[in-house]
Structure 1
Amino acid sequence: MTTFTVVVTAFDARGHLRECLTGILDGACTGPGPGPGRGHGHEVEVEIVVVDDGSSGATTALVDEYARRDERVRAVRLPRRLPAGAARAAGAARAGGTGDYLLFLEGRDILMPGALAALARRAEEAGRPDLIVFDHVRSTWAGATTGTGDGRLFAATGRAVLTVGDQPRMLHLTPTVANRVLRADFFAAHPELFGQDEYAEVLPAIGSLLAAGSIAVVDDVLLDRHEHGTPPSAAGAFDLLSQYEALWRLLDDSGSGGDGHGGAPRSGRVARIVFGGMAGRYLKVLGLPGLSDPDRAEFFHRASAHFRRYKPADYQRPPDLTGLRHAVLERDSYCGYQALRSANRGRRGVRALAGTARRKAADAAKKGAYREQLRRPVDENLAVFSAYWDRGVTCSPAAVCAKLAELAPHIRRVWVVRRDDAPLVPDGTDHVVPGSRRYWSVMARAKYLVNNVNFADSVVKRPGQIHVQTHHGTPLKRMGTDQVPYRATSRGVDYEALLDRCARWDYSVSANRHSTEIWERAYPVPFTSLDYGYPRNDVYFTATADDVLRVRERLGIAPGRKALLYAPTHRDYESAWTPRLDLERLARTLGDDFVLLVRGHYFYDRGPSPLEELHRRGRIIDVSAYGSVEELALASDALITDYSSVMFDYANLDRPIVILADDWETYSVTRGVYFDLTERAPGAVATSQGEIERLFLDGGWRDEDATARRAAFRRAFCDFDDGHAAERVVRHVFLGQPDTPRVVPLDHRVPAPSPEAAAALALSAK
C-alpha cells in the first residue's frame, strides 16, 4: 500500500475545486474489494489537506462540505493569503504525517483517472525514489489542451532511476511543483526549497531535481492544469532573484556546476542549463507590462549582477536576438535594453495598424469628449448604473441604487438608459443616453459602475474605478466560457472580447454557492465574489401584505382568483418566441378560479407579440412590458416556467413552482446545462399541456411531493437571499465596511405573505 498526502491550495480555484477534490478521491482506495483505482492494479491510500485563506465564502463552504463527508479530507484555514510556497508549506505541516509521498496541487489541477495508482506502481518499481516526475497538459477556458513539450525528455530517460548528473536535460522540464511527487523524508530534509517561491516555482521545481539522489519518471500525462486566463503579473517578481540565489547555492554545494566555494569557475551542462533558464526568465520579467519604470530599472541592474556572477566559464552567447539581449544584460546597459525594447514596440505598432473593426470602432468612440474626460480625476462621489443593456431602472442595480440613496446620499446616482426607454425612467431619476456627450463624461469619471450585464467594449476601466457585476440570474444553462462546446450558442461568439469585458469586474455578486462556483469557472478573470444574495430579491422579504394586494389591484386581478405567473425563457435555436402552451385553452380549462399572468422573454421585445390578441380579449394578462418581475412574483400564487432563472428567485417566496420540460432533452443538449432540472426541480414537472392542466385541476401543483421538492431546491439554491443583499453590497463596496450583516439562516427567514395570506391579514385588520 502506497500512501499519498495531497496538499491542495484553494486560492482562486475558479470553480474547478470540486472537480479537483473529486478526482483525487476517486483515484484512491483504502481497502479490498472493487472500487476506484482497483482497475489499475495498485491500491492507493490518500489524505487531502486543503489550504484555504477564507477570502471566498463559497470556497470555504465547499472545503467544509468535503471535510464533513470524507475523513480523508482536512481543511487548513489560514488567517490571511500567503504566497504559494508558504501556503503549501503550511498545508504540509498540518498533514497527518502518514503519507509516503507528497503531491502539491492547486485547486484548478485535475488528476487523470488512474494517476495515483500509476504513481504508486512506479514508486514500488523504482525502489521508492526521492522524486517521481510525470507529464501534464494545460487547458484553457476555450477547451484547448496544450502539451508541455516535455514528452521527448520523459521518453529519453526510459525506466532507469537516475539523477540530474545522469540526465542534465531533465532541467529543461517545465518548472512546476504539481508535476512531481516527493518522498516525505526527502521533502522534510530540504525545507529551504519549498516555502519561499512567490513569483514562480523555479526553486522548488529545479531545486528538487538538483537535490534528489534518485529520480524516476512516468512517461504519461497524469495531470490537467486549468489556466487562470489572465496575463502574468509583475507582483512578486523580485522574489525570482532570491530563488536563483538559493538555487546557485544548492548547485555549488552539490558540486554539479563547479566548485563555487573554492573559486573554480562554474562550468558543465548543468550550470549552462540553469544559467540559460535564469537569463530567459529575467528577460521575461523585464517585459511584463505591470512593472513600473523604477522597478524595471532596479530589476535590470540586479539581474545584470546575477548574469556576471553566475555566468559559466563555458557560456556561449546565442547568435540571435536573444544573444543581443544577453549582451546588454551582461554589460548592465539599461539604455541599450530600453533601445531594444523601443524597437520591438515599433515593430509591434506597425503590425497593430491592421487591427479589427471592433477595435477601430472602440478607438473612435474614445476620441473627443471621452478622451478628454479620461484625463480628468475620477469623481469619488459619482456612481453609474445600468441593467439589461440599458433597458431601464430595474433588477439588482436598481435595488443597489435605492439602498445607496438611503445609506450614502452624498454619492450621486446616474442611470444609462436607451433613448427609446428614457420616457419610462421614474421621475427624479438622473439618466444619460448612450453615446451622448454626458454619457462619455459620467462613464469616464464615475468612481462606481454597476451593471447586471457588461458595459460596452468602448468603456475604459480606469485605475481607481470600481466595477460591480450583479448578474441577473442563477445559472441553469451554461454560461461564459462553459458554452464553448455548444455550437448553438457559441458560434460566432468572440470569447476573447467577452473576457476583456469581464476583466473589468472588481466584484461579482452571487445569490448562492452554486452561482459563485460557476461564475468563477465560466469567467476566468480576477474578481472578488460577494456572497451576499441578489439585491433584487430583497423585496421578497421586505414586502408587506399591503404591497402584495396593491400590485394585484394594479394588475386587475380579482380577489379570490389564483394568479399563475407564466415566465418561460428563450431558446437559442428559435429566432422568435412562440408560447409552448396553448394559453387560450389553458385559461378555458382552468376556468374563472385562475388567471394567467404571461411574461414573454425580453429577448423578443421587437415585433408583434402573440400575446396581444389574447390580452385584448381578456383571456390572459400580458405582463411582458411590466417593469418589475419581482412585483409580478409577489402578486402571483404560483409560477409556471421552463428553464428560466426566475425559478431560483421565486423559490425565496416558498410558493408553488411548476416546471414545463417538454423539450428538456433538446434544450439540455443544444444549450448545455449544469444539472438535470427534471431530477432537482423546485416542484412538480410536466412534459405536456395536458399534464400542466391536470396538475392544477387535481391539486398536484401544491401537493406534498411538490412541497418537498421545493424545500430541497430552496436549501440548495437560496443560500444568501434574506432581504439584506443590497445593504451588504452598499456597505462593502461604497462605504468600505466589509463587516456586513450576516446572512439570516434559511429556517429563520420570513418571506412576504402569499396573496391568500395577505387577503386574510387585510380582512382581519378591518
Structure 2
Amino acid sequence: MSPLLSIVLPVHGVERYLPRCLDSLAGPPDGSVELIAVDDLSPDGCGAILDEQATRDPRLRVLHLTENQGLGGAREVGLAQATGTYVWFVDSDDWLPEGTLDALLAELRAEQATEPPVDVLLTDFTHIYPDGSTEPNPWRHLLRDSPLVAGCTAADHPALFQSVMSVWNKVFRRQFLLDLDVAFGRGYYEDISVTYPALLTGRLRYLDRSCYNYRRGRPGAITATASPKHADAFAQYDAIFRVLDRPSADPGPALRRLVFDRTVRQALTVYDTPGLVPADLRADFFARIADHFARHRPADYTFPGGLRGVQYRLVARGARIAYGELRRGGQLPRALKRQAGAVAPALRKGVRSGARFTAYNTFRRLPLDEHLAVYAAYWYRGFACNPAAIYRKALELAPQVRGVWVVETKAQAATLPAGVPYVLVNTPAYLRLMATAKYFVNNVNFPHTMAKRPGTVHVQTQHGTPVKAMGMDLKDHPAAADGMDFDRLLEAVGRWDYLVSPNPHTSEHFTRAFPGRYELLETGYPRNDRLALATPAEVADVRSRLGLPAGRRTVLYAPTHREGQGGYDPLLDLRELAEKLGPGYTLLVRAHYFHSGGAGELTAGPHAAEVVDVSAHPVVEDLYLAADVLVTDYSSMMFDYAVLDRPVVVYAPDWEQYRRVRGVYFDLLAFPPGAVATEPGALVEALLAGDPAPDARAAFRERFCPWDDGGAAERVVRRIFPTE
C-alpha cells in the first residue's frame, strides 16, 4: 500500500541541526509516512547521521548524491522517488512541533474523502530565533479568517500572495504537482517556481495549526549573504510566467498583475538592500529587472502611484543612473521632468519622500548616540501621557540621557513646558534625531519609514487600559478595523523592546493583540503617578487655574470615539443635562482627540450648570484632578480616574451596538466603575445622588488599579535607562 505522505528532506551542511529535525519527524510505523532524505554531497557528518538513523527507522530512505545539486535539485531527486499521495518538502535545519505528523495525517485522511480534493494544504508555522525566542506566523491573519479555511482557489482570496511564498509550510498533492509540470529552480529563490504556479492553479486549504518551526537568523541565510546567485531569481520568474502563459493555467488578468507586481518588488528589494548584489554586478542586475519588466508586463498594466510608480517607470526604461539619483538624493530625474505636468503631484510627493529617505539613511551611517532619547505622544501632538511622565522621571534618575520631543507644528511646540528640547517633524534635525538616537519612547508607533537600528531601544507605552478590542484582535471586527494594515502593525510591534502595562487585565489582552518578542513591563502607567500622589493643595491649584468657582460640583463628561461616526456626537443633550443639574454644577466637556473640532458651541440657560469645552486643554490629568465625578461611556479614562477613588458614572445608551461593532474585553455593564445609566434621566439621578455606587468603584479599583502607587515612572526608567 502506498504511503499517505512522503516527506522529502534535502540535507547539506546542517550537522548541528539535523538530529533535532529527524527526531521531530518520528511518526507512526504503519506505512502511512515515508521519509526520503537526500544527502546533497554534504561536506560534514550529515551522511553518516542519516545512515545511522535509517538503521533504526524503516520509513527512512537515504539517497547519497555524488554531485551537489543545491536545494532545488535535491528536492527534485527526492520527489522523483516519492510514492505518497501527498508530499511535503521539509528543510533539514528546521523541525516540526510535537504531535504535528499525527495531526497532519488526520487532515490528509479527511481530505481524501472530499471532492474535489485539496491540491495544496497550507499550514501555520512559527519563527524560531537564535536566542530561543519565538514569533507567530506574521501572515496568519491573512489565512485563518479567509475562504482558505474551508477551501478555495487563489482567485477567491488573492491576499494569500502577501504571505510567505516558501515551500516548507505547504503540503502538495503529489499527482497535482507532477501534472503541473513545474520544477524547483537551481540556486537562490528555488521555491517560487513551484509555489506560485501551484497556488495560482490549485485548490487550496489552510490548516490553522502551527506545523513547522522555521529557524530564523541562521548563518548563511541568503537574505543576508552577498552573492551573484541573487540573479537566480530571474530564472525562477521566467519559470512562473511560462506556466501562466499556458492556456490551461491562465489565472486571469488580476492575478497575473498581482504576481508581476510582486516579482518586480522582490527584485528591487534585492537590488536596493545594501550588500546583497556585488558592486560589479549591480548594473547587470538592474538590466535584468528591466528585461523582466518588459517581457512579463501584463497587457493591461498601469503604473502604481507615488514613489513606487516613479521607480517602476525608471525600471521600465532601464534608467539605472536616474533610479540611483532618486534613491540617493531625491532628485526628479530628467527623463521624467518632461512628464511633470501630467503626474506632478504624485511625482513631487514621491521625490520629497525620496529626499527625506536619502537624508535619513545618510544620517544612519553615523554612530548611535548612547545618551540620546526621542519622545513623542499621540502622533507628534505634544508633551503628554506616559512618555511625558517617563521624560520627567528620566531627568531626575538618568540626567545623562538627553531627551528630545518630536512635534508636528510650531503651535504644538509652543505648548511644550519651558526648557523641553524639540524638533519639528520632517526637518533635517528630526531626521538626524531619528537616525542616531539610542532610545525611542512613544504611546503610538513611530512612522514605519523610520527603521529600527541594531542597538536601539524602543519603548511602547500605549495610552489606555482597553475596554474595546485592539490590535490583531480587530481582525474579527471588520467595521472597526476598516483600513487597518495588520501587516504594518506586526512590523511595528516587531520593533518594540518594551511594552508598558498598567494592570493585569491589559497584560492579558495586549500580549495577544500585539504579538511580539518585547519585554512586558508590568509597572502601572507612569502618567497615573500624578493622580496617585496628588495632594489637596495641588487639586485646589488646578481648580483655580481652570477658573472653577469654589463650592461648585464639577462633572467631567468625556465620551470615546465610535467607529463609523464622522465627528463628535455625545449621544447626550448637554443643554438639557446642564438645566437638570442646575447652577450648583460645572460641566466640563472633553471630546475625543480624534475630533479636532472639539465639542463645539456649548451654552445653557441662566439657571443651568455652566458648560465649558475643555477638549483643547493639553493636560488631561488636570481635568481629572479638577473633577468631582467623571461621566464617560467606554473610554479608558475611567481606569485612570479610578486611581483618584472618586465617583464614576457610565453613560452607555448604545452598549450592545458598541460591543458588537467594536468588540470588547469584558462586560462593562456587569463590572462597572460606578453607577450605570442608559438613558438621560438615570444619568441625572446618579449625578445628583453624589456617590451612588462606592462598592462597585472599590471592586473596579481592586481589579484595574493594583499597581497605581505613584512609582510607575521610576520602575520604567530604571528598567530602560542606565541610572547608576
Q: Distance in 1 between matches of 2:474 and 2:229?
A: 42
Q: Is the 8 A contact 1:413 1:430 kept in 2?
A: yes
Q: Secondary structure at the match of 2:560?
A: coil
Q: Distance in 1 between matches of 2:590 and 2:616?
A: 8
Match of 1:402 in 2: 392
Match of 2:703 in 1: 716
Match of 2:184 in 1: 322
Letter in 2 for 1:437: P
Q: Distance in 2 between matches of 1:527 and 1:244?
A: 39
Match of 1:153 in 2: none
Q: Is the 8 A contact 1:567 1:599 kept in 2?
A: yes
2:660 to 669, 679, 698: 669
Q: Secondary structure at the match of 2:554?
A: strand
Q: Secondary structure at the match of 2:372?
A: strand
TM-aligned CA deviation for residue 337 of structure 1:
11
Q: Secondary structure at the match of 2:472?
A: helix
TM-aligned CA deviation for residue 169 of structure 1:
3.9
Q: Are positions 1:414 and 2:217 aligned together?
A: no
Q: Distance in 1 between matches of 2:437 and 2:685?
A: 54
Q: 1:365 to 1:542 in 2, by over 3 A?
A: farther
TM-aligned CA deviation for residue 423 of structure 1:
1.6
Q: Are positions 1:603 and 2:594 aligned together?
A: yes
The 5-angstrom pairing of residues 388-537 of structure 1 reads 388-419=378-409, 420-537=411-528
Q: Secondary structure at the match of 1:632?
A: helix
Deviations 1:595-629 (A, max 9, x none): 212111111113x7424546999721222111211
Q: Secondary structure at the match of 1:692?
A: helix
Residue range with higher mean Cα deviation, 722-731 or 244-253: 244-253
TM-aligned CA deviation for residue 255 of structure 1:
4.6
Q: Is the 8 A contact 1:365 1:458 kept in 2?
A: no
Q: Distance in 1 between matches of 2:508 and 2:18?
A: 26
Q: Is the 8 A contact 1:615 1:621 kept in 2?
A: no
Q: Are positions 1:203 and 2:22 aligned together?
A: yes
Q: Is the 8 A contact 1:538 1:722 kept in 2?
A: yes
Q: Distance in 2 between matches of 1:552 and 1:462?
A: 45
Match of 1:692 in 2: 683
TM-aligned CA deviation for residue 351 of structure 1:
3.9
Q: Distance in 1 between matches of 2:605 and 2:541?
A: 21
Q: Is the 8 A contact 2:380 2:408 kept in 1?
A: yes
Q: Distance in 1 between matches of 2:18 and 2:591?
A: 51
Q: Distance in 2 between matches of 1:486 and 1:582?
A: 29
Match of 2:540 in 1: 549
Residue range with higher mean Cα deviation, 461-470 or 335-344: 335-344
Q: Are positions 1:652 and 2:625 aligned together?
A: no
Match of 2:713 in 1: 726
Q: 1:434 to 1:593 in 2, by over 3 A?
A: same
Q: Are positions 1:594 and 2:605 aligned together?
A: no
Match of 1:251 in 2: 54
Q: Secondary structure at the match of 1:649?
A: helix
Deviations 1:180-224 (A, max 9, x none): xxxxxxxxxxxxxxxx998997334312x1xx556999xxxxxxx
Letter in 1 for 2:713: A
Q: Distance in 1 between matches of 2:32 and 2:584?
A: 76
Q: Distance in 1 between matches of 2:264 and 2:95?
A: 22
2:230 to 325, 338, 341: 341
Q: Secondary structure at the match of 1:509?
A: strand
Residue range with higher mean Cα deviation, 666-675 or 651-660: 666-675
Q: Which has the higher contact order (CA 8 A, sep 6+)?
A: 1
Q: 1:252 to 1:692 in 2, by over 3 A?
A: same
Structure 2 unpaired stretches of 5+? 10-14, 34-43, 64-76, 97-126, 131-179, 191-219, 238-261, 269-302, 310-349
Deviations 1:94-128 (A, max 9, x none): xxxxxxxxxxxxxxxxxxxxxxxxxxxxxxxxxxx
Q: Distance in 2 between matches of 1:444 and 1:486?
A: 36
Q: Distance in 2 between matches of 1:671 and 1:463?
A: 37
Letter in 2 for 1:731: R
- Percent identity at matched positions? 40
Q: Is the 8 A contact 1:202 1:243 kept in 2?
A: no
Q: Is the 8 A contact 2:376 2:383 kept in 1?
A: yes
Q: 1:513 to 1:204 in 2, by over 3 A?
A: farther
Q: 1:576 to 1:277 in 2, by over 3 A?
A: closer
Q: Secondary structure at the match of 2:403?
A: strand
Q: 1:670 to 1:320 in 2, by over 3 A?
A: closer
TM-aligned CA deviation for residue 576 of structure 1:
1.5
Deviations 1:481-509 (A, max 9, x none): 21123232222222222222222211111
TM-aligned CA deviation for residue 523 of structure 1:
1.9
Q: 1:378 to 1:597 in 2, by over 3 A?
A: same
Letter in 1 for 2:694: T
Q: Secondary structure at the match of 1:497?
A: helix
Q: Distance in 1 between matches of 2:54 and 2:80?
A: 9
Q: 1:249 to 1:473 in 2, by over 3 A?
A: same
TM-aligned CA deviation for residue 711 of structure 1:
1.8
Q: Distance in 1 between matches of 2:358 and 2:185?
A: 44
Q: 1:534 to 1:449 in 2, by over 3 A?
A: same
Deviations 1:389-445 (A, max 9, x none): 111101000000000000011111100012131221121111111111101010111
Q: 1:462 to 1:502 in 2, by over 3 A?
A: same
TM-aligned CA deviation for residue 511 of structure 1:
0.6
Query: TM-score, with normalisation over the residues of structure 2?
Result: 0.59
Q: Is the 8 A contact 2:579 2:604 kept in 1?
A: no
2:618 to 620, 627, 634: 627
Letter in 1 for 2:387: P
Q: Is the 8 A contact 2:398 2:723 kept in 1?
A: no
Structure 1 unpaired stretches of 5+? 1-165, 175-195, 218-240, 261-266, 292-317, 738-766
Query: TM-score, with normalisation over the residues of structure 1?
Result: 0.56
TM-aligned CA deviation for residue 343 of structure 1:
2.8
Q: 1:385 to 1:199 in 2, by over 3 A?
A: farther
TM-aligned CA deviation for residue 359 of structure 1:
6.4
Q: Distance in 2 between matches of 1:734 and 1:593?
A: 48
TM-aligned CA deviation for residue 649 of structure 1:
1.1
Letter in 2 for 1:716: R
TM-aligned CA deviation for residue 382 of structure 1:
0.3
Q: Is the 8 A contact 1:509 1:531 kept in 2?
A: yes
Q: Distance in 1 between matches of 2:685 and 2:664?
A: 28
